[in-house]
Amino acid sequence: MKLPSGICFSLASSTLAENVSAVEKLRPHVDLLELRVDAMLPEEARRADELVRRVDLPVILSVRRQKDGGAFSGSERERLRLLERLAPMGFAFIDVEHDLRAPELDRLIREAGAGVIRSFHDPAGVPSDLPERMPALARTPAELPRATVTPRGSADLLRLLDAFQRLSRLPKVLSGAGDCGFPTRMLAQKLGSLFSAVEDPGTADELYRCRAIGEATEVFGVIGNPVMHSLSPVIHNKGFAALGLDAVYLPFLVDDLDLFFRAADMLGIRGLSVTVPHKVDVMSRLAHQDGSVGAIGACNTIHRRPGGGWEGTNTDGAGFLAPLLAAFGDRLPAGLRATVIGAGGAAHAVAHSLVRTGARVLVLNRSPGRAQALAQDVRAPSGSEVLIGPLDETGVKLMGGFNDLIVQTTKVGMAPHADSDPLPGYSFSGRETVYDLVYVPEMTVFLKRAKAAGCPIILGSQMLLSQAFEQFRIFTGKQYPREAAHGIFEPLSGD
Which is the catalytic residue, given 25, 279, 448, 478? Answer: 279
Beta partners for 337? 360
pTM here? 0.93
DSSP 423-445: -TTPPP-S--EEEE---SSSS-H
User: Averaged in consecutive runs of 10 residues, what is the pLDDT profile of the chain (495 residues)?
Assistant: 86 97 96 97 95 96 95 96 96 96 96 96 96 95 96 98 97 97 97 94 96 96 96 97 98 98 97 96 96 92 93 96 95 94 94 93 94 84 78 95 97 89 95 96 95 98 97 98 88 37
CA distance 170 to 264: 23
What pLDDT does 16 receive? 97
Tens digits of residue pLDDT in 400-422: 999 999 999 999 998 888 899 99
Is 279 a residue of the active site? yes
pLDDT at 84: 97
Catalogue all structural domains in the chain, each as residue range(s) with its CATH number: 6-215 (3.20.20.70), 218-314+463-495 (3.40.50.10860), 333-458 (3.40.50.720)
Selection from 301, 352, 312, 359 nearest residue 331 by Cα:
359
What pLDDT was estimated at residue 295? 87
Helix (H) or strand (E) holding 165: helix 154-166
H/E run at residue 399: none
Q: CA–CA separation, 434 vs 421, rounded Å?
A: 13
Coil vs helix vs strand at 96: strand
Q: Which helix (H) or strand (E) holds 273?
A: strand 271-274
Q: What is the pLDDT of residue 381?
A: 63
